[in-house]
Amino acid sequence: MNRPTDPHLLTQAATPAGTTEGYMPGWGNDFETEALPGALPQGMNSPQKCNYGLYGEQLSGTAFTATRPERTWCYRIRPSVKHSHRYEKIDLPYWKSAPCIDPDVISLGQYRWDPVAHSGAGLTWLTGMRTMTTAGDVNTQVGMASHIYLVTESMVDDYFFSADSELLVVPQEGRLRFATELGIIDVEPKEIAILPRGLVYRVEVLEGPCRGFVCENYGQKFELPGRGPIGANCMANPRDFKSPVAAFEDREAPSTVTVKWCGQFHTTRIGHSPLDVVAWHGNYAPVKYDLRNYCPVGAILFDHPDPSIFTVLTAPSGVPGTANIDFVLFRERWMVMEDTFRPPWYHKNIMSELMGNIYGQYDAKPQGFVPGGMSLHNMMLPHGPDKEAFEKASNANLGPDKLDHTMSFMFETRFPQHLTEFAAKEAPLQDDYIDCWTSLEKKFDGTPGKK
Ligand SMILES: O=C(O)Cc1cc(O)ccc1O
Ligand SMILES: [Fe+2]
């Protein structure tokens, strides 16, 4: 039962019978978990005195008055407010927030990047975060940022939380551990994790170097999409999401807590580990999900549907059906459509599309869009299959065909995305990306018939 191998860590609650070690299944469930017997008050939240001398503390992820409040009650060794120093501003120059519009950087275009290489420098979750695009405004809690992380070193006695955002983490290389106030989440490629706004954690390297993508959501939380006529089954099933059981450490050590707040970073010092929540209950918790559990639904006779059928999670924007962010997964699946151009069609989209490749080959771009790489097709800018994909798909003999060994994703937002200076000038931008369409020749010759 004791998954943590780190010697100074963590007393962990027993996993409920029949579930995956260390995790509890369900999306948005009202969980309860305790690492010591009787640590969780029963029948009430704020007893006059808590067992074990714990402090009760609520973490609210929605307004108190939200229609369905999301909040968690924590029973901890010390309240979070006990930090001994004022916050001091620090600089993390590569982690940007919207609005971040550099007049020298042009975002109007189709862009593609090779994987950002590891530099050899020791980088943590904080120093290794590289913002690629920002959209919206962190101060008004709309929009998002996309990042690449390059992490080679564990945080030691350093902790972090983002007051600005929840983070959707999409690993591409290496294995990470998020040791959080509410328990431990380990992730590797083909899995994702969500770290809620306000949750304190430390990020450790289990197997490095680690690279991946992050969608920083400034707005309303990610939720499971409405399934409409698809009905109750397929896509992402709620039980495949896993939240950790309670785990705590009772450790005195000079430590820091860094906060991301309105785009700025501030640090305070504390004398103990803040991962001291012995028991908790509630529906506001970190979660992981194995993307291999995503059950894609698609066209089974003809035509290519909108990619929204592959939505794993959506973060609403307030305008129904128009997401602040959709997280969309293009994974292994069968293609069976008859007399159909099967790859994505050529299109322009009011939403802006940031894509990343986790592994394998993406059907619209057989070359150049490689694992660890990213592309951006910004608001209303045309894009679609490259010449090679077009020719292949237009001339293929159409039998049932498995798109195998492939996993790419899209962070699609209703807001235009602005490149950071890093994305435009330091990251390995492919200068010749738009050439992948130049050789699409005119086939029209004024005579009818398919050509
Ligand atoms: O542009 C892309 O490759 C993403 C995408 C995929 C798809 O199947 C349909 C539309 C779309 O934007
Ligand atoms: Fe697209």
Per-residue pLDDT tens digits for 385-434: 999 999 999 999 999 999 999 999 999 999 999 999 999 999 999 999 99
What mean pLDDT is predicted for residues 360-368? Answer: 93
Contact 196, 185 (CB under 8 A): no
pLDDT score of 294 more than 80: yes
Ligand whose nearest atom lies closest to the CA of 378: 2
CA distance 170 to 190: 8
C-alpha distances out from residue 198 to 104, 166, 262, 433, Å: 34, 8, 13, 39
Catalytic residue among 147, 281, 304, 405: 304
The atom number, within ligand 1, closest to the CA of 365 reads 3
Where does ligand 1 bind, in terms of residues with CB under 6 Å? Answer: 307, 344, 347, 349, 353, 364, 377, 383, 410
Residue 320 has a CB neighbour count (10 Å cut-off) of 8
Q: Which ligand is nearest to the CA of 299?
A: 1
Predicted local distance difference test score (pLDDT) of residue 2 = 43
pLDDT, greater one: 17 or 430: 430
* Average pLDDT of every residue of the chain: 95
Ligand (nearest to CA of 343): 1
Q: How far is the CA of 307 from the centre of ligand 1 (A)?
A: 6
Q: What per-residue confidence (pLDDT) applies to 72?
A: 98
Site of tokens 């908790």: 280
Q: Is the pLDDT of residue 189 over 90?
A: yes
> Domains, the chain, ranges and CATH?
84-276+285-291 (2.60.120.10), 294-432 (2.60.120.10)
pLDDT score recorded for residue 14: 73
Task: State in Å: Cα 78 to ligand 2 middle.
Answer: 49
In whole angstroms, what is the distance from residue 299 CA to residue 186 CA?
A: 35
Ligand 1 atom with least separation from CA of 410: 4
Task: Give the distance (Å) from ligand 1 centre to CA of residue 344.
Answer: 5
Contacts with 127 (C-beta within 8 Å, 6 or more apart), sequence order: 92, 94
Residue 283 clears pLDDT 50, i.e. is over it: yes
Q: Is the dihedral angle over the CA atoms 11, 17, 19, 21 positive or is it negative? A: positive
Amino acid at position 312, single letter: V
* Cα 404 → chain centroid: 23
The 10s digit of each residue's pLDDT in 98-127 is 999 999 999 999 999 999 999 999 999 999
How confident is the model over 148-161, as a mean pLDDT? Answer: 98
The token pair at 294 is 């995503």
Return the ligand 1 atom nearest residue 310 CA. Answer: 8
Give CA–CA dist 426/444, Å, rounded. Answer: 41
> What pLDDT is recorded for position 56?
98
Least confident of 92-96, 323-327, 361-365: 361-365
According to the model, what pLDDT value does residue 85 have? 79
Per-residue b/e over 249-285, b at no fewer than 16 CB within 10 Å? bebeeebbbbbbbebebebbebebbbbbbbbbbbbbb
Task: Give the whole-angstrom CA distance, residue 292 versus residue 303.
Answer: 25
CA 335 to ligand 1 center in whole angstroms: 15
ipTM of the complex: 0.98
Is 377 an annotated catalytic residue?
A: no
Rounded Cα distance, 332 and 405, in Å: 6
Rounded Cα distance, 344 and 366, in Å = 13
Q: Determine the distance separating the centroid of ligand 1 and the alpha carbon of 218, expressed in angstroms.
A: 24
- Site to substitute for ligand 1 among 410, 417, 437, most atoms within 8 A of C-beta: 410
Ligand 1 atom nearest to CA at 362 = 3
